[in-house]
Structure 1
């Protein structure tokens, strides 16, 4: 079994796919403190949808991979809503959202 503790993603090998998607954008010349605030705000937005992320942000880019929390079901609509939320952030440009993919790849 692989996964994360405290409500994170858990997958029993060979049983089913754990789907997730990439979310990224370019940032308009922001200070590291502002980039960290954006990451915190995104984390809160994801939490409201039952999602978690891995990845990070620096002064030039935000690159994360998003997964549903254990027991949560995320929809296509939620994926697109998160991309739209990111596009509405004034410091974000060139927002890209990936398709749902198996987070553990093909076995």
Structure 2
């Protein structure tokens, strides 16, 4: 069973890892509404792959951590497709995608 302890999520020992990955890019000079539209478009793209994100965007950079929805089985192909999608966006430069990692860190 999971719970909250000291403001963070706690995982019961022996439970499976929750895997996710970092996705980021630099943004070319954008207005706030452009950044918001990019974030909305990314959210829709993630949804089509069964993924959700946490993090956000400002006028210089997009930094999110991506996780599969509870009912989804995301693959490495999904991870790479998202990096490619982001790389094709005209506002984005220096796209970086991380490897799958345990979202709760190493114990």
TM-score by length of 2: 0.89
Q: Secondary structure at the match of 1:86?
A: helix
Q: CA offsets, 1:59-83, max 9 Å, x none? A: 1000000000002111011100000
1:13 pairs with 2:12: yes
- Detail structure 1 runs of 4+ shifted over 3 Å in the superposition: none
Q: How many residues align?
A: 101
Q: Secondary structure at the match of 1:83?
A: helix
TM-score by length of 1: 0.89
Structure 1 residue runs of 5 or longer lacking an equivalent are 4-9
Q: Once superposed, what is the RMSD of the aligned Cα atoms?
A: 1.7
Q: Secondary structure at the match of 1:72?
A: coil
Q: How far apart are residue 12 of structure 1 and its match? A: 5.1
- The 1:43–1:11 alpha-carbon spacing in structure 2 relative to 1, beyond 3 Å, is farther
Residue aligning to 1:88: 88
Residue aligning to 1:63: 63
Q: From the CA coordinates, give the structure whose radius of gyration is larger.
A: 2
Residue aligning to 2:99: 99
